[in-house]
Chain A
Amino acid sequence: MDVLEKEIKIVKEINSQPPQDINIKVSRMNAYYGDFHALKDINLSIEYNSVMALIGPSGCGKSTFIRVLNRMNDYIDSFRMDGEVIIDHQNIYGKEVRIEQLRKQVGMVFQKPNPFPKSVYENVAYGLRIQGVKDKKFIEERVIRSLQQVTLWNEVKDNLKKNALALSGGQQQRLCIARTLAVEPSVILMDEPTSALDPIATGKIEDLITELKKEYTIVIVTHNMQQASRISDYTSFFYLGEIIETDKTLNIFTKPKIKQTERYISGYFG
């Protein structure tokens, strides 16, 4: 009974949300690599300060989708897309959009930790430096705050000059998140951020995501069903370039409406 009441409340919440609560809105979006139709008629809305998990078997288009949101696919010659992607009320594929500005607004954390071969400090300061920020005090404050946000500060505060590649994998990934936070994005994209990490490091990142949600919108690709159910508010199931089902995470994992979703989350395929 309890669960049911909770759900009714959630459904009410969804319905009562005014449209300005939508941070990311993707409509009738198609993406292609050459002749390959990688994403088919994608429609998805993501609220402010929520965690959206994207699940689905390898090659289903999750990573392509997440890279549409910060235009990382622009560097692939054969890539093209149509449809509309609106983030913070702006069509990010519009002519007037400056791609550097968009990337500042929509940060990204990658599958394998990829710190720059520089010091811990310079890794976090990089985003500010490329914006031309010269104020040393400002940079220092932002670096410290970002490292504190990812709970890395106590581990590295005596070694800020140390090469970031000397940190452990989990520390590196938190550093990469700190680096993203330092430019103050509104959205953080995470492409399987824990797949290269051990369970303890994974746990720390998951705690961090739950904490970050208070200030940021998070879109995370994951192959780990437990992870999706632990940390996300909404889950979207991708299969062969289409979104099969999107719903509150609780619903997806307890009573999916579509058979394929159920088969995937219970491990029958994928």
Chain B
Amino acid sequence: MNSIVRNRLNDKLFYIWGLISTFIGLIMLSIFLGQIVKDGAQRLNWDFFTSLPSRLPEKAGIYTAMIGSVWILLMTLIIAFPLGVAAGIYLEEYIKKGRWSNLLELNISNLAGIPSIIYGLLGLEFFARTLHLGGSILTGSLTLSLLILPIIIVTTRESIRAVPGSIKEASYALGASKWQTIRMQVLPASMGGIMTGVILALSRAVGEAAPLIVIGALAYVPFAPSGPLDDFSVLPIQVFNWISRPQAGFITNAAAGIIVLLALTFLMNGIAVFLRYRWQNKTKL
């Protein structure tokens, strides 16, 4: 076999290997989705969304968990967005580059890799116990904010870095201060990217169960929370709780809960993709 034939063959082999690799993930996801839809679709009706938790599977619904998730989502957004974006701006525009800034950057990247349950333990010790916030929505949101802050900081920095230096120079050359330049040029140009990152981070937060279980979020909350200091449950915890029950009816409920959770995540990621697309078009023209 001469070398050309061999190279061609290798080429072909790698092509097939790449194809299989690409589709393995997709196929697994489709099987999983198919199974879930088969199990849970029958349970998806209006009652399921409006019912409180119950001992009887056919009466139990996700109302409290869903309201809990919405609360957690909004509170986490309110806490993490300004902190993350401000930190990103500071690290990208203000900090003097040197050993100290490198150390800081390294640590922020490391924070993104810490298992979420560790954040849960921190939240339990600091927010729930030291600050006496208990297993409240506020504790949960603060904990999840810590979890997603590194993601928001990193995407904010990347979006800001993508703003051409020539635009900033033009602004400075006209007598703008640093903050004016950031507010009037850098942020508008990078907002699409920042929002994309924030939404992706939030969609991660909305799927988290472990850290919230650690801080003491409950699976059985008889009433929907009405304020940040109320006890709460969220969709992933509700699903987790149902799965661990012996009755077959709860398994169906869990599958239906997963469908709702997935739909929510897909929706959020869809918004993120849409924003990124619009933002790209805007900066090109």
Instruction: List the interface of chain A (C-beta within 8 A of B).
Output: 70, 72, 75, 77, 100-104, 107-108, 110, 112, 114-117, 126-127, 129-131, 163, 165-166, 176, 179-180, 183
Contacts and interface: CB of A to CB of B under 8 A. Distances in A.
Contact of A77 (B96, B166, B167, B284): B96
Given A77-B96, A165-B285, A126 B164 contact: no
Nearest to B185: A116
B184 A114 contact: no
Contacts of A179: 170, 174
Nearest to A103: B175
B15 interface: no
B176 interface: yes
A72 B169 contact: yes
Interface string B158-192: 00000010110111111111001000110001000
A77 B169 contact: no
B166 A110 contact: yes
B170 A107 contact: no
A103 B171 CA distance: 10
A163 B188 CA distance: 14
B99 interface: no
Nearest to B164: A114
B175 A116 contact: no
Contact of B167 (A107, A108, A116, A183): A116
Contacts of A107: 173-174
B97 interface: yes
B189 to A, nearest CB: 6
Contacts of B282: 117
A59 to B, nearest CB: 19
Nearest to B166: A114
Given A101-B175, A130-B175, A179-B170, 11 more contacts: A70-B173, A72-B169, A100-B177, A104-B175, A107-B174, A116-B167, A116-B185, A130-B176, A130-B180, A131-B175, A180-B173
A110 B283 contact: no
Contacts of B176: 100, 103, 126, 130
B285 A127 contact: no
B175 A183 contact: yes
B252 to A, nearest CB: 52
Contacts of A127: 174-175
B169 A110 contact: yes
Contacts of A176: 170
Most buried by B among A112, A117, A131, A163: A117
30 contacts: A70-B173, A72-B172, A72-B173, A75-B172, A100-B176, A101-B175, A103-B172, A103-B175, A107-B174, A110-B169, A110-B170, A110-B173, A114-B166, A114-B170, A116-B167, A117-B189, A117-B282, A117-B283, A126-B174, A126-B184, A130-B171, A130-B174, A130-B176, A130-B177, A163-B285, A166-B285, A176-B170, A179-B174, A180-B173, A180-B174
A114 B174 contact: no
B137 to A, nearest CB: 40
A72 B255 CA distance: 61
A166 B171 CA distance: 19
Contacts of B167: 114, 116-117
Most buried by B among A103, A165, A166, A179: A103
A183 to B, nearest CB: 6
Nearest to A131: B175
Contacts of A166: 285
Contacts of A129: 184
A131 to B, nearest CB: 7
Given A70-B173, A103-B173, A112 B185 contact: no
Contacts of B180: 130
A127 B171 CA distance: 8
B262 to A, nearest CB: 37
Interface string B246-276: 0000000000000000000000000000000
A116 B170 contact: yes
A126 B180 CA distance: 11
B283 to A, nearest CB: 6
A110 B185 CA distance: 17
Nearest to B97: A77
A112 B174 CA distance: 16
Given A110-B169, A114-B167, A163-B285, A103 B96 contact: no
Interface string B80-112: 000000000000000011000000000000000
Interface in B149-164: 164
Nearest to A114: B166
A183 B174 contact: yes
A101 B174 CA distance: 9
Contacts of A183: 174-175
B166 A112 contact: yes
Contacts of B171: 116, 126, 130
Contacts of B285: 163, 165-166
B175 A114 contact: no
Contacts of B189: 117
